[in-house]
Amino acid sequence: MLFSFVHQTQAQQKQPVDYADPMVGTSESRWMLNPGATLPFGMVQLSPDNQSTDWKAGYEYTLESISGFSHIHAWTMAGLSVMPTTGVVNPAIYPPDAPTTTGRTAGHRSRIDKTTERASPGYYAADLINYNIKAELTSTTRAGFFKFTFPETQDAHVLFNLLFPAEYPFTVLDATITRVSDTEIEGYSKQQSGNFMRLGGFNDYTVHFVARFNKPFKQFGGWKGKEINKNITQLTGKDDIGAWVDFDTKQGEVLLMQTGISYVSIEQARLNLNQEMNPFHWDFEAARRNAQTTWNELLGNIKVAGGTETNKKKFYTNLYRSYCARSILSDVNGKYRDACEQERQLSDPHSPVFGCDAFWNTFWNLNQLWTLVNPDIANQWVQSQLEMYKTGGWLARGPAGFEYSGIMEASHEIALIVSTCQKGIGRFDTATAWQALLHQQTTNGTPHECGGYAGNKDIQTYMQLGYIPQPGHVSNTLEYAYDDWCVAQMAKRLGDTSRYIQFIKRAAYYQNIFDPQTLYMRPKDREGHWLENFNPLSTGGYTEGNAWQYSFFVPHDVNKLVNLMGRDTFTNRLVFGFEQSSKMNFNAIGDKPERVYINHGNQPNMQAAYLFNYSGKPWLTQHWVREIMNKFYGTNPYNGWPGDEDEGQMGSWFVMSAMGLFETDGGTSTQPIYEIGSPLFNKITIQLDQQYYPGKTFVIEAKNTSDANRYIQSAELNGKPLNKPWFYHTELVQGGKLVLTMGPVPNKSWGSKPGDAPPSMSTTLP
590-611 per-position pLDDT tens digit: 656 557 899 998 889 999 999 9
- Note the pLDDT tens digit of each residue in 306-343: 999 999 999 999 999 999 999 999 999 999 999 999 99
- Out of 440, 468, 484, a domain closes at 440
pLDDT at 103 over 50: no
Torsion sign across C-alpha atoms 607, 608, 614, 617: negative
Instruction: Answer yes or no: do 118 and 60 share one domain.
Output: yes
Q: Write down the pLDDT at residue 407.
A: 85
pLDDT confidence band for 297 (50 / 70 / 90): very high
Give the total number of structural domains in the chain.
2
Q: Are 575 and 620 in contact (CB under 8 A)?
A: yes
Which residues constitute the domain of residue 409? 331-440
C-alpha distances out from residue 546 to 254, 549, 593, 601, Å: 56, 6, 10, 14
Residue 358 domain-assigned (yes or no): yes
Q: Does residue 15 fall inside a structural domain?
A: no
In this prediction, residue 559 has a pLDDT band, given cuts at 50, 70 and 90, of very high
The reply to whether 283 and 409 lie within a common domain is no
Same structural domain for residues 127 and 40?
yes
User: Between these two residues, 549 and 100, which has the higher pLDDT value?
Assistant: 549
Report the pLDDT value the prediction gives residue 707, as an integer from 0 to 100: 97
Render pLDDT for 35-77 as a digit per residue (tens, 0 to 9). Answer: 999 999 999 999 999 998 888 889 999 999 999 999 999 999 9
* Contacts with 546 (C-beta within 8 Å, 6 or more apart), sequence order: 536, 537, 538, 539, 594, 595, 596
Q: Are residues 291 and 343 in the same domain?
A: no
Note the pLDDT of residue 13.
86
DSSP code of residue 466: S
For residue 223, is it within any domain?
yes
Does residue 11 carry a pLDDT above 70? Answer: no
Residue where one domain finishes, among candidates 278, 297, 316:
297
pLDDT (tens digit per residue) in 620-641: 999 999 999 999 999 999 999 8
For 81, phi then psi, to 5°, come to -95, 140
Angstrom distance (rounded) from CA 343 to CA 356: 20
Same domain, 133 and 274: yes
Q: What is the CATH number of the domain that holds 48?
A: 2.70.98.10
Query: 52-56, 413-417, 671-675: which range is least confident on average?
Result: 52-56
CATH of the domain at 419: 1.20.1050.60
Compute the average pLDDT of residues 206-234: 96
**Domain contains 180:** yes
Same domain, 335 and 276: no
Residue 434 and residue 293 share a domain: no
Residue 510 has pLDDT above 70, yes or no: yes
Residue 1 pLDDT exceeds 50: no
| pLDDT level of residue 102 (50, 70, 90 thresholds) | very low
Q: What is the pTM (predicted TM-score) of this model?
A: 0.96
Structural element, H or E, at residue 621? helix 618-631
Comparing 383 with 201, the larger pLDDT belongs to: 383
CA 111 – CA 113 distance, rounded (Å): 7
For residue 8, pLDDT beyond 80: no
24 pLDDT band, cuts 50/70/90, is very high
pLDDT band at 201, cuts 50/70/90?
A: low
Q: Work out the average pLDDT over 515-544.
A: 95
The verdict on 38 and 160 lying in the same domain is yes
Q: Exposed (0-12), middle (13-18) or buried (19+): which is 674, by Cβ within 10 Å?
A: buried
Whole-number pLDDT of residue 223: 96
Q: Are residues 278 and 391 in the same domain?
A: no
Residue 229 has pLDDT above 60, yes or no: yes
Does a structural domain hold residue 600? Answer: no
Is the previous residue joined to 471 through a cis bond, with omega within 30 degrees of 0?
A: yes
In-domain check, residue 751: no
| Whether the predicted pLDDT of 165 surpasses 60 | yes
Percent of the chain exceeding pLDDT 90 equals 87
259 and 368, same domain (yes or no): no
Helices (H) and strands (E) in the chain, counts: 19, 37
pLDDT for 202 equals 75
Q: What one-character-per-residue DSSP string does 545-601 give?
A: S-HHHHTT--TT-HHHHHHHH-HHHHHHHHHHHHHHHHTTTT---SS-TTS-S--TT
Confidence bin at 374 (pLDDT 50/70/90): very high
The long-range contacts involving 280-284, CB below 8 angstroms and separated by at least 24 positions, are 280/145, 282/214, 282/256, 282/258, 284/136, 284/138, 284/145, 284/147, 284/256
Higher pLDDT, 592 or 475: 475
Q: Is residue 84 part of a domain?
A: yes
pLDDT for position 101: 45
Same domain, 47 and 143: yes
What pLDDT is attached to residue 375?
A: 98
Residue 390: what residue type? K
Same structural domain for residues 287 and 339? no
| Sequence-ordered list of residues with C-beta below 8 angstroms from that of 21, at least 6 positions apart, any chain | 119, 120, 313, 317, 635
- 501 falls within a domain: no
Alpha helices in 254-328 (DSSP H): 266-277, 284-299, 309-324
Instruction: Give tens-digit pLDDT for 235-267.
Output: 999 999 999 999 999 999 999 999 999 999 999
**pLDDT surpasses 50 at 6:** no
Rg of the chain over all Cα atoms, to the nearest angstrom: 26
Q: What is the pLDDT, as a whole number, of residue 385?
A: 96
pLDDT of residue 436: 98
Widest CA span in the chain: 81
Task: Give the model's pLDDT for residue 195.
Answer: 58
> What is the rounded CA–CA span in Å between residue 45 and residue 519?
47
Determine the average pLDDT of the residues in 198-204: 66
Which one of 421, 440, 459 terminates a domain? Answer: 440
